[in-house]
Amino acid sequence: MSRVVGFIDLDAYYCACEVKQKPSLLAGKPLAVCMYETWKKSPDRSADMDRIVKSGGAGLIAVSYEARAMGVKRQMSANEARKACPELITVMVPTKNGKADLSLYKENGEKVVEILQEFAGIVEKRSVDEVALDVTDAAQKLLETTPKELVARQAVNVSHFADSEISLKASKISHEAARRGHEGQHEYTKNDDDEKNHLLKYSSFDYLLLAGAVVINNARKAVRERLGFSCSAGIAANKMIAKVGCGLHKPNQQTIVFPRSVAVLLKDLPLNRLPGLGGDLGNRISSQLNITTAGGLANISRSILLNAGFQDADNLLAAANGTLDEPVKNRANYKSFGSSKTFYKHPITNLTIADQWLSNFAQEIFDRIKNDRNQRNRAPTNVTISITTDKSHVTRTEKVHIGWSDSPQPIVRSAHRLLRRWAGTRTAHLDIVVLGLGVSNFIDLPANKASVMDLLTRNPLHQSKKPSSSAEIMQPSKKKRTIAELLYQQATTSTKKTTTVGKKDSSFFPSSNIDPEVFAQLPPEIKAELLDDRTRLLRQSAPSLGNSHLEQRQVKKKKKTATTTIDSFFAPRRPR
DNA sequence: CATGATGACGCT
DNA sequence: AGCGTCAT
């Protein structure tokens, strides 16, 4: 069944966050955001005023539209940019514990998602500044309550169309130019093409798209009014085309791609502007098949693609034809998060320093875990360290129990252990160029800690006085899982390690405050399952020993094979 | 002068 | 579990 997908991209997002912080100084100004002022160690800066830097600052990571108009481009060094635009204001990202602190942007991004959730049943957070929405239902509802001609009129008034002259011109811009905001981008002005478009006869699905465009426009308006962020959007029958459409007109504009416009839009679209083909795979396709556009790829036969070694031919062709239809995922929050830092030209040489950084990372991650946990009653169960040297890049993962713990220590200890698992016996000359730590594999926690404790304990300290929280109502967790989780927590925090299963149920949790009688009354199969869960979780949590010297691989400079699939984000999983 | 920090996911 | 790719 056809869907209506909106793809929203916040305009010059890091810049917009900074403008929100200091509107009187920054609004309407040519502005750029850079990562650090210098690569040398310097004190943390979080105050907005301290972050406006007059010198230094390496590659720009965000450029306001005012600065783009002056020729400032992303990836310029700050000094280069100042030459192009002497009035340029450069703001460095906040730093904390000696590293960039992106929480300002992340937190604002979460607020954006919250607002967008009011407008769509299915919301997929794609990155800090991108969100895909399935607005099919909302569009249908709108058409049920509003005459379709009125809906169409509203949509036309606030949207571009992909087959207009200016849209098709924008579709021919190179990938690089499009990314940095090509010339001629400006706020919306009405044009004759769009009016002509409005005179055409709409199919019933066209009306649905038009309704979706009204919904998306309302969503964008809400984001702008409540948070001050402007954004651009594309509206189409699938996520990939919606994203392509989104890129046609920025900032603060939206573009509708009717099904009948897809072919002409893709005809001259540079191949590497198709999501997933912006890297190696796209380059190989271009050079091996001597094509440069999506339209060119669409004209290649499946068998030629297969013969050239592109096993993912079907998806490639679907992408080139604009029919690749990956559903909008129902995921408004992160599946993992982490903290990392590059030590450019000053690699970490010894374990002590690495440990300190890992502790910092762990603290930062734990702060995020606490936030996330309060909102979503979940906690991660994996900790992964990531280490890059000149010669290698490796990751090491182990299980960790966080639960409702209020200390970052479990993560800190895991991180230090994982570091040693990699380093082996070596303690110096580690030469770590990039060090990172992350957590993943979230599991649901008891929605309300106290209320679950009530179930299993007679400890009056744990009896909750409040009714269940709203979080519990919104996200009821399965009782079985909940109990297993609790048992696991009890087991791993107990002072003794039990190596054998006790003969009596009541002897099972030496220092537990779980009521043995309650446990004893559980049906035998539940007991067995709980015990099984407990031992399994314990086993998983046991760190294994590694041999780092065996793991030092050469980093492969050149990869590899035409078997790589188009970016998973837009590609449906291949059937079996 | 010049440097990124995350995050998702397929393949094996 | 670990690696590689693609993305912003």
Residue A332 above 80 pLDDT?
Answer: yes
Residue A192 in any domain: the answer is yes
What is the DSSP secondary-structure string of A358-423? HHHHHHHHHHHHHHHHHHHSEEEEEEEEEEE-SS-EEEEEEE---TT---SHHHHHHHHHHHHHHH
Q: What's the one-letter identity of residue A49?
A: M
Give pLDDT, residue A543. Answer: 33
- Domain range for A382 is 336-445
Give pLDDT, residue A41. Answer: 84
Mean pLDDT taken over chain A: 82
Look up tokens 């450069």; give the residue. A90
Q: Highest mean pLDDT range out of A129-138, A444-453, A527-536?
A: A129-138
Domain end point (choices A280, A310, A333): A333
Look up tokens 């994982």; give the residue. A418
pLDDT above 90 as % of chain A: 69
The burial class, CB within 10 Å (0-12 / 13-18 / 19+), for A344 is exposed
Element (H, E) at A192: helix A192-199
Burial A250-276 (b: 16+ CB within 10 A, else e): bbbbbbbbbbebbeebbbbbbbbbbbb
Residues in A 445-464 whose C-beta is less than 7 A from nucleic strand C are: none
Give pLDDT, residue A468. Answer: 31
Judge if the beta carbon of A239 is closer than 7 A to nucleic acid strand C: no
Higher pLDDT among residues A143 and A187, named by residue: A143
Element (H, E) at A286: helix A280-289
**Residues facing A384 on adjacent strands:** A397, A438
- Closest C1' nucleotide to A544's CA: C1
**Residues facing A130 on adjacent strands:** A9, A127
CATH of the domain at A278: 3.30.70.270
Residue A485 above 80 pLDDT?
Answer: no
Higher pLDDT among residues A533 and A123, named by residue: A123
Summarize pLDDT for A374-387 with one digit per residue, the tens. 999 999 999 999 99
Give pLDDT, residue A446. Answer: 85
Residue A449 above 70 pLDDT?
Answer: no
Judge if the beta carbon of A563 is closer than 7 A to nucleic acid strand C: no
Least confident of A74-78, A109-113, A473-477: A473-477
Extended strands (E) in A212-312 = 231-236, 254-256
Residues A129 and A265 occupy one common structural domain:
yes
Judge if the beta carbon of A535 is closer than 7 A to nucleic acid strand C: no
Joined tokens for residue A312:
């993912």
Give pLDDT, residue A529. Answer: 37
To 10 degrees, what angle do helices A148-158 and A192-199 make? 160
Q: What's the one-letter identity of residue A92?
A: M
Mean of pLDDT values over A82-103:
96
Residue A261 above 80 pLDDT?
Answer: yes
Residue A557 above 50 pLDDT?
Answer: no
Give pLDDT, residue A56. Answer: 86
Residues A3 and A22 occupy one common structural domain:
no
Domain end point (choices A31, A66, A98): A98
DSSP summary character for residue A502: -
Give pLDDT, residue A191. Answer: 65
Nucleotides of C under 7 A from a protein CB: 1-8
Give pLDDT, residue A37. Answer: 85
Mean of pLDDT values over A536-541:
36
Residues A282 and A356 occupy one common structural domain:
no
Judge if the beta carbon of A397 is closer than 7 A to nucleic acid strand C: yes
Residues A366 and A285 occupy one common structural domain:
no
Cα–Cα distance list, A208 to A43, A63, A323, A531 (Å): 54, 35, 18, 53
Residue A57 above 80 pLDDT?
Answer: yes
Residues A294 and A395 occupy one common structural domain:
no
Band (pLDDT 50/70/90 cuts) for residue A572 is very low
Mean of pLDDT values over A120-143:
98
Residue A302 above 90 pLDDT?
Answer: yes
Give pLDDT, residue A197. Answer: 65
Give every CB contact of residue A467 below 8 A, 6+ residues apart in sequence: none
- B8 C1' to A131 CA distance, Å: 14
Mean of pLDDT values over A116-121:
97
Least confident of A130-134, A227-231, A305-309, A543-547: A543-547
Residues A277 and A355 occupy one common structural domain:
no
CATH of the domain at A423: 3.30.1490.100
Band (pLDDT 50/70/90 cuts) for residue A91 is very high
Residue A172 in any domain: the answer is yes
Residues A438 and A454 occupy one common structural domain:
no
Report how many domains make up chain A: 4
Find, among A333, A116, A139, the residue nearest to A223 by Cα. A116
Residue A491 above 60 pLDDT?
Answer: no
Mean of pLDDT values over A253-279:
98
Residues A412 and A361 occupy one common structural domain:
yes
Residue A537 to residue A507: CA distance in whole angstroms:
19
Give pLDDT, residue A179. Answer: 83
- B9 C1' to A568 CA distance, Å: 6
Extended strands (E) in A192-335 = 231-236, 254-256
Domain end point (choices A55, A82, A98): A98
Higher pLDDT among residues A535 and A50, named by residue: A50
Residues A148 and A187 occupy one common structural domain:
yes
Residues A134 and A82 occupy one common structural domain:
no
Residue A354 to residue A432: CA distance in whole angstroms:
8
Find, among A87, A46, A94, A42, the residue nearest to A66 by Cα. A87
Cα–Cα distance list, A202 to A197, A396, A412, A419 (Å): 9, 55, 60, 61
Residues A117 and A264 occupy one common structural domain:
yes
Residue A551 in any domain: the answer is no
Residues A129 and A26 occupy one common structural domain:
no
Band (pLDDT 50/70/90 cuts) for residue A183 is low
A122 backbone dihedrals φ, ψ, rounded to 5°? -120, 120
Nucleotides of B under 7 A from a protein CB: 1-12
Q: Which residues touch strand B (CB under 7 A)?
A: A 35-39, 55-59, 61, 77, 79-80, 99-100, 102, 106, 127, 312, 329, 331, 334-342, 344, 434, 436, 438, 440, 563-565, 568-569, 571, 573-574
- C5 C1' to A312 CA distance, Å: 15
Give pLDDT, residue A496. Answer: 29
Band (pLDDT 50/70/90 cuts) for residue A181 is low
Distance of CA A327 to the CA centre of its chain: 16
Residue A501 above 80 pLDDT?
Answer: no
Least confident of A56-65, A280-289, A306-315, A400-409: A56-65
Q: Highest mean pLDDT range out of A53-67, A198-212, A396-410, A548-562?
A: A396-410
CATH of the domain at A74: 3.40.1170.60
Give every CB contact of residue A575 below 8 A, 6+ residues apart in sequence: none
